[in-house]
Structure 1
């Protein structure tokens, strides 16, 4: 005996999925709808599938057109998801007011989607009250790098990142300080040792200098200054992308010493910076003068950051104190460098 539809729907609601807008063209113009029943099918040849309810106008139009496009939505596009799901009743034209690009197949895709696929229908299979369309992918693009929009239990959301398994530290401490030896032994990096080639994103060195630093065995680190300044997200993310293109081993986001960073701003920046920085390691340099410094450190960890710049006692620097971050990591049961349990705080 099949399970009842209410229970089945509730169970399926516990499976989180990404969100996309499926578009096609018909006799009266373009048509689109929100879907979460999307799946990859094959890499060679490239095939994907999407399931559309047989009662939907999109199902008939897509079948007749023999082509469709899929736009993947980003974390900031829940309003578009709701619009194409028909949840905004006052919207008469779902396509109005949005920036669209027309594919070679003639299907519209969102210009600022996280990614999009252009497809021709290769197969159409009956699937109960739905039709399973398998599309042969003819074109694809990634217009924007940002975290995806998720759908779970009838709610729109974002990825909640787990805490890292461990933190990695670069410590500002005098090279001849006895503490520096203990830090080296524990596996932390002592900044004064000079094993890093550091520079600011607004004054990058020539590529030859970066190559020479890499050949010497130095770790190349590019820093974005005032990374969490209000209204600077686009500029900061562009600088992160530029540093990635330069071939940095690590990319640092540094808090301003003048304008304290808010946890919300730290989250906004790091959630996308962590994606743009790959394959480089993303690190954070926080100000110790900010009352929310440890909150920001926690937010950074939850945003995919495990590498931090900290300052040792007596260093004279205004960064996040080493002892504070070690205390936070212990409370969160996030492993730090070994043998630092009794280090002076």
Structure 2
């Protein structure tokens, strides 16, 4: 699944569903179009050079050969603004050595005498790594607007020990650093917008192997899928699971939807930078056997190489279905259970077997 992604991420259909994160921004997007398209047209020539770096006051601005540009200040912690060439939005983040525990305390950003308090998940949270904390939504836009002409920024976060910490940064040189980046990306004169989740990064899952790299194109394709809800709106939006299938392939289970007691995901097999959405056999009385591109309450066990699902027909799980697929260079259905009648009998999930695969030699 390597479909061409639109250059203007702000115009993607799925981004419209995320309007709650940056209400009021859409009227401004049209003014960004010509500038961003010009930047993309000029990318090949600009990207052939090595990394460029400039210092402005307390800020260092740089543009990598892939044309990702960022302005940073501080060492540990570090405050950063970054813009990817395939999106028109700045990403506002702080990198800390001691990641904050979720929901412990609402993060706050002070710009001079003005303060903004951010909620969790839809307005702030870690992406890509637990120690990289991003700020989103309309409040992030207000902060960025003040930062450009401000004197100082102080970010209040709880640390891993649940102690509230204040991290202060000088804003001297930030305006010049951002202007230099605008020049490098051919976006001088365009509005500086922020507010959307970071490009190509999943909400951080503390259980994920940090050596595993999820392709940005997969994250963006999943976000653009109109059949799934935005990760920031889902109670399970930070429960992605990415595991190694073998030396060359990964399995990525990415949240897609949520109900009262069922959580759906889409499953992708990733080979290098390529990825493919998986489809699975399912059974129901009214449909007989059919296929679906979503699994409910899915989990992959790397030890047994088994992918399992458990779809509750209702909360007490006296009816529903469950499946077990084992990785054998593809996901082979090993067993499927189903019970259509919700009769308050039997143990939860103990459904009748409707399919068992014949034995297959071990590899």
TM-score tier, shorter chain, comes to under 0.3
Please say which structure displays the higher CA radius of gyration: 1
Of Structure 1 and Structure 2, which has the larger fraction of its residues in strand?
2
TM-score scaled by length of structure 2: 0.25
Q: Which has the higher contact order (CA 8 A, sep 6+)?
A: 1
